[in-house]
């Protein structure tokens, strides 16, 4: 179920800082997966936690309107193991 339009996008308060404040910190910020990407944070770098490790994400203008969690996969791709032939 999506968030209602009259409430506006969900954005964690730490990602609302101005670009100059964020760039002074030098380190990418951790951000929640359910926060929405807005046009104010284009060009910044964030860390997204996928349950095991933090993934670095650079924000581009194509990502506006999506959520941070869409860009950090939480599940590994499954591959069948090859069987060896018995002699």
State the number of CA atoms in the 13 A half-sphere of 13 facing the CB: 0
Q: Is residue 84 part of a domain?
A: no
Number of domains in the chain: 1
Sign of torsion, CA 10 14 18 23?
negative
Q: What pLDDT score does 60 carry?
A: 93
**Amino acid 15: pLDDT:** 52
Assigned domain for 28 exists: yes
Cα gap 23→52, rounded to integer Å: 26
Per-residue pLDDT of the chain (87 residues; tens, 9 = 90+): 677 878 877 777 655 555 555 565 556 677 888 888 888 888 888 888 888 999 899 999 999 989 999 999 899 889 998 888 877
Answer whether residue 74 is part of any domain. Answer: no
Rounded to whole angstroms, the Cα distance separating 55 from 42 reads: 17
The three-class DSSP label of residue 16 is helix
Would you say residue 4 lies in a domain?
Answer: no
Cα–Cα distance for residue pair 9/67, rounded to 1 Å: 10
Query: Which pLDDT does position 86 carry in this prediction?
Result: 79
**Residue 41 domain boundaries:** 18-46
Q: For residue 35, what pLDDT is reported?
A: 86
In a domain, residue 60? The reply is no
């Amino acid at each position: 179920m999506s968030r209602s339009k009259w409430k506006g996008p969900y954005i964690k308060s730490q990602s609302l800082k101005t670009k100059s404040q964020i760039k002074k910190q030098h380190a990418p910020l951790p951000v929640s997966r359910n926060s929405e990407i807005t046009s104010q944070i284009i060009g910044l770098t964030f860390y997204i936690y996928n349950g095991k490790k933090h993934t670095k994400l650079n924000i581009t203008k194509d990502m506006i309107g999506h959520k941070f969690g869409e860009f950090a996969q939480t599940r590994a791709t499954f591959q069948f193991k090859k069987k060896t032939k018995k002699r």
